[in-house]
């Protein structure tokens, strides 16, 4: 994907983590969403003004998050085992912030 700066060491079979430069968080989220939709996923969750999004394809679930750290966009994509458990719960398990 364009603007990839580095893949983070915590990337494994359940989680992809990378830093991007030269794009905004919204541009990066749009590119990731387009790729997931093209692969048959549907967006089923949007939290925190759209910076956290959940996608499903049959029983498969993916959580996508982008954190803006100055000029760097930190992308995180993971399944239930690889994602932030609280954010995954907000999108897929009915957790609520109160």
pLDDT tens, position by position, 21-36: 999 999 999 999 999 9
Choose among 55, 56, 2: nearest CA to 27.
2
- What's the predicted TM-score (pTM) here? 0.89
Residues whose CB falls within 8 Å of the CB of residue 24, separated by 6 or more in sequence, listed in order? 68, 73
Domains of the chain: 4-92 (3.30.530)
pLDDT tens, position by position, 69-96: 889 999 999 998 888 888 999 999 888 8
How far apart CA 61 and CA 41 sit, in angstroms, is: 9
The answer to whether 45 and 29 are in contact (CB under 8 A) is no
């Amino acid at each position: 994907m364009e603007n990839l700066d580095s893949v983070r060491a915590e990337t494994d079979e359940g989680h992809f983590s990378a830093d991007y430069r030269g794009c905004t968080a919204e541009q990066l989220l749009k590119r990731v969403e387009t790729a997931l939709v093209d692969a048959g996923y549907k967006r089923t969750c949007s939290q925190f003004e759209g910076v956290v999004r959940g996608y499903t394809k049959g029983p498969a679930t993916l959580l996508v998050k982008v954190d803006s750290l100055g000029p760097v966009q930190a992308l995180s994509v993971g399944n239930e085992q690889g994602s932030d458990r609280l954010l995954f719960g907000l999108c897929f398990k009915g957790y609520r912030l109160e």
